[in-house]
Amino acid sequence: MEKFYRWLSPAHLVILSFELVIAVGALLLALPFSAKEQRLSWVDALFLSTSAVCVTGLTPVDPGSTLSTIGQIILLALIQIGGLGYMTISAFIAMLVHHRLSVTQRMSVEIMLGELVEAWRVLRYAVVFTFATETVGFLFLFWAFGQYGLGLGERIWFSLFHSVSAFCNAGLDVFGLVGKEQNWAGSLLPFAHDPLVVLTIASLLMLGGLGFPVVVEIADHIRRKKVRWSIHARTVLCANLVLWFGGAILIWLFEFKNQETIALQTLPVQFMNSFFQSATARTAGFSTLPIGSLTAASLWLLCLWMFIGASPGGTGGGIKTTTAAILVASTWSGVRASEQVVLFKRSVPPERLSKAVALTLIAANFVGVATLFLCVTEKELLERGIPYGPLSLLFEAVSAFGTVGLSTGITPLLSVGGKLILVATMFAGRIGMLTLLVAIAGRKVEPVRYPHEEILVG
396-407: average pLDDT: 90
The predicted pLDDT at position 178 comes to 46
- The pLDDT of residue 337: 79
Residue 239 host element (H or E) = helix 231-255
- Render pLDDT for 169-187 as a digit per residue (tens, 0 to 9): 888 888 875 444 434 344 7
- Least Cα distance to 53 among 28, 30, 85 occurs for 85
- State the DSSP code for 179: T
Tell me, what's the pLDDT at 2? 44
Q: What is residue 449's DSSP assignment?
A: -
The pLDDT value recorded for residue 95 is 54
* 47-62 pLDDT per residue, tens: 999 999 888 888 888 8
The mean pLDDT value for 448-458 works out to 71
Task: Report the pLDDT value the prediction gives residue 255, as an integer from 0 to 100.
Answer: 93
Would you list the DSSP string of 43-101? HHHHHHHHHHHTT----SS-HHHHB-HHHHHHHHHHHHHHHH-HHHHHHHHHHHHHSS-
Comparison of pLDDT for 287 and 9, the residue scoring more = 287
300-306: long-range contacts, CB 8 A cutoff, minimum separation 24: 300/391, 301/247, 301/250, 301/251, 301/254, 302/277, 302/395, 302/406, 303/394, 303/395, 303/398, 305/243, 305/247, 305/278, 305/281, 306/281, 306/282, 306/398, 306/399, 306/401, 306/402, 306/404, 306/406
What is the reported pTM?
0.86
Question: Would you mind telling me the total number of residues written for the chain in this entry?
Answer: 458
How is the chain split into domains, by residue range? 2-440
Query: Mean pLDDT score of the chain, rounded to an integer?
Result: 83
How far from chain centre, in Å, is Cα 26? 20
Tell me what the mean pLDDT of segment 316-339 comes to: 86
Beta bridge partners of 343: 346
* Closest listed residue to residue 269, CA positions, set 188, 165, 162, 205: 188
C-alpha span between 437 and 197 (Å, rounded) = 40
pLDDT at residue 384 above 50? Answer: yes
